[in-house]
């Protein structure tokens, strides 16, 4: 579930704009994942967001990420940094 979302709308986008979305993992640990996202137009950021995602079970209690998933996300984060 999304635990926290902070976003900045830097410039408007228009219906015919070609947009590029970039996401990178900023923090991985326990039951949460922090994702830094940008939307760019022609290489210029027009939107930025920092999203904190919390993993929970069916009762809404925090659920630690499985080791395999944590390792896979860390590998992606290392490859893209």
Q: Is the pTM here over 0.95, yes or no?
A: no
**What domains, with CATH codes, occur in the chain?**
2-80 (3.10.129.10)
Residues in the chain, total = 81
How does 38-50 read in b/e, with b if 16+ C-beta sit within 10 Å?
bbbbeeeebbbee
**Could you read off the pLDDT of 7-62 as tens digits, one per residue?**
999 999 999 999 999 999 888 888 999 999 999 999 999 999 999 999 999 998 98
Q: What DSSP state is assigned to residue 70?
A: H
H helix runs in 1-81, sequence order:
67-80
Burial of 33 (0-12, 13-18, 19+ CB in 10 A): buried
């Amino acid at each position: 579930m999304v635990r926290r979302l902070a976003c900045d709308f830097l410039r408007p986008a228009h219906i015919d704009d070609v947009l590029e979305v970039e996401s990178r993992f900023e923090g991985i640990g326990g039951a949460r994942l922090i994702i830094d996202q940008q939307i760019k137009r022609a290489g210029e950021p027009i939107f930025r967001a920092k999203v904190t995602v919390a993993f929970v079970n069916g009762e809404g209690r925090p659920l630690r990420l499985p080791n395999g998933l944590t390792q896979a996300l860390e590998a992606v984060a290392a490859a893209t940094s």
